[in-house]
Amino acid sequence: MASRRISRKWCDLPSELLNHIAGSLETQCDLRRFRSVCRSWRNSTLPPPPPKPSRTIYLPPFWDDGKDEYSPKIELKETSVYCIESLPSTTHHHHQEGAAAAAARPWFVRLRFTESGTAVHEDLATGHPVLKETHKRELRKVLDLRDFQVREICKAYHLWVESDEYFIVSYCFVETEDGSLMGMVLGDKVTYSLFWKMGDDHWTGIDITQDGTLLDELVGYHKGRFFVVSLSGLTHSVDPVSLEVNQVGVAAIQWFPGRKYLVGWSGDLFLVDKRGPEDFDEELDFEFEFKVRKLDEQQQEWVGGEDGLEDLVLFIAYGWSAFVPAKHLPGYGSRCVYYADVDFIDRCYHPASCFMVSEMGGGLHEALQLCPGSSCSNLFWPPPNWLDKNPLV
């Protein structure tokens, strides 16, 4: 007797399976899309909590010199970076950009949420608020997640000190599983790396060099630990619970004189070393080199790390940095680097215009400043037409 295939509607899947699928989703955006499929799926799981308001936290002073003098205010501001894509079913009838262009063009946006749940648009590169008159169009206030794909790329944190006397070398803040914050700061007025977690009324000094000499250059966070890299390349990990310090990388790096960044991806920690031009001419012709190394904890050294990054795009901006798979950016080349250059802050004529675009590895590459309407700039500005409140149909 021939077997008969029994078909089942998607809405009739057992609740145990739906609960398992919902529990495997990584973000609240994915969970909201899951619950929007049908009534059965929506009733199978509890709704996610509403977006938490972005936090502004006043931190304790970095140092205590024993004097009853005014301590500078220290603020930590939290925002989120998202990638928004319109699904093909919602773009086939939007003639202004064309179906292929509309579906292929994602939009990166940096948002801060107020206590009332309102999203405030901030410059992706600098974190400065984007004025309403900059938009010149009325955008949707609500996105139907059946029609749009929303990915949270990362959290972004901006540390501000009300003093010109204190220079911050590097800082890193992260959100813990229970929703609290913790972070580490390297500065020029202390001889220790500084650790703070939410609820502390002071910073804890961690003498990583063991001799009280601060030579640390860079701090980052990856897989539950902070990592501190010295000027020589010596690397230590710091357990945020016990504050135990362990050496995980030897001093074997030939540094470029430029800026450096720690970026995690797919279980590995990468060190991005940027070298720029010595002189800047009026034509704004720049060349940059981004050398990437990967931490090999077993061998305790930084090794060549560009293999395996062929299909990634690197973003480096104020308060955040991240690798993004190039498959999420159709039409944009792999191994690209979008870098927010500090020298362009006063030349930002539209959101994200202080981004430069270059390439990872392979020596010096020409870097271009983003211009309105260019293919590279369209990731950030202007907003795609399908985000208009009343798109053309």
Nearest Cα residue to 64 out of 190, 169, 167, 243: 190
The answer to whether residue 64 scores a pLDDT higher than 60 is no
CA distance 148 to 86: 5
Q: What is the pLDDT of residue 244?
A: 92
Which stretch, 139-148, 187-196, 319-328, 354-363, has highest mean pLDDT? Answer: 319-328
Whether residues 111 and 20 share a domain: the answer is no
Bigger pLDDT: 243 or 169?
243
Region 370-391 average pLDDT:
72
Q: Are residues 217 and 113 in the same domain?
A: yes
Q: pLDDT confidence of 225, banded at 50, 70, 90?
A: very high
Same structural domain, 118 and 15: no
Assess if residue 5 is contained within a domain.
no
Domain around 20: 11-44
Answer yes or no: is 28 within a domain. Answer: yes
pLDDT digits (tens, 9 = 90+) for 252-284: 566 555 678 899 988 899 988 887 655 344 444
Please check whether residues 22 and 144 belong to one and the same domain: no
Q: Per DSSP, what are the bridge partners of residue 294?
A: 270, 303
Task: Mark out the alpha helices in 279-358 (DSSP H runs).
Answer: none
Claim to verify: residue 39 and residue 107 sit in the same structural domain: no
Residue 238 forms part of a structural domain: yes
Q: Are residues 112 and 30 in the same domain?
A: no
Distance CA 7, CA 264 (A): 43
Q: Are 372 and 350 in contact (CB under 8 A)?
A: yes
**Dihedral class, residue 243 (left if φ above 0, else alpha if ψ from -120 to 50, else beta):** left
Out of 24-38, 206-220, 308-322, least confident range: 206-220
One domain, residues 32 and 63: no
| Residue 84 maps to a domain | yes
In a domain, 178, yes or no: yes
Is 166 in the same domain as 30? Answer: no
Both 259 and 124 in one domain: the answer is yes
Instruction: For residues 76 and 39, state if they share a domain.
Output: no
256 is a domain residue: yes
**Does 193 share its domain with 295?**
yes
Does 181 map to a domain? Answer: yes
Number of Cβ within 10 Å of residue 95's Cβ equals 12
Give me the residue label for tokens 């059965």: 40
This prediction has a pTM of: 0.79
Q: What is the pLDDT of residues 287-343, one digit of tens each?
A: 777 888 888 888 888 888 777 787 888 888 888 899 988 877 766 667 788 888 665
Number of structural domains found in the chain: 2
Task: Report if residue 2 sits inside a domain.
Answer: no
Q: Does 265 lie in the same domain as 307?
A: yes
